[in-house]
Amino acid sequence: MTRLNITISRVLVVGLLAAVAFMLAGAVLTAARPGLTAIHETSVADIPRALAHLEPSGFFDLGLLLLLATPVARVIALLFGFARERKWLLSSFSLIVLVALAFSAYLGLRV
């Protein structure tokens, strides 16, 4: 179980650090270019364009998406970790949680 705990710990730390790094980059860009505002993008499809043009909103949005994706990555790591250890009950619970998260995201994006 120690190996799985270390993997989960790393997933959470990397996700958090990446999210913070992108949000800090957005804050620095906002401060460095006073005429440029951090307008919130409404579409995930706009993020690559905003990043390419060094718009702060793209960095903020990507940071928030990474922050939201980190717990999902944790559930995926748990699913594979439990399956590797042949703990089928815990693996099936992780799969149920992952399906619930995916369904919630689907419903949230549909609205």
The total domain count for the chain is 1
In which domain, by residue range, is 22 found? 2-110
Mapping DSSP to helix (H, G, I), strand (E, B) and coil, where does residue 89 land?
A: helix
Joined tokens for residue 98: 């992952």
Nearest alpha-carbon partner for 33 in 54, 19, 50:
54
Q: How far apart are CA 25 and CA 4, in angstroms?
A: 32
What's the confidence (pLDDT) of residue 33? 80
50-108: pLDDT as tens digits: 899 888 888 999 999 999 999 999 999 999 999 999 999 999 999 999 999 999 988 98
Between 45 and 22, whose confidence is greater? 22
- Asked whether the predicted pLDDT for residue 38 surpasses 70, the reply is no
Full-model pTM: 0.79
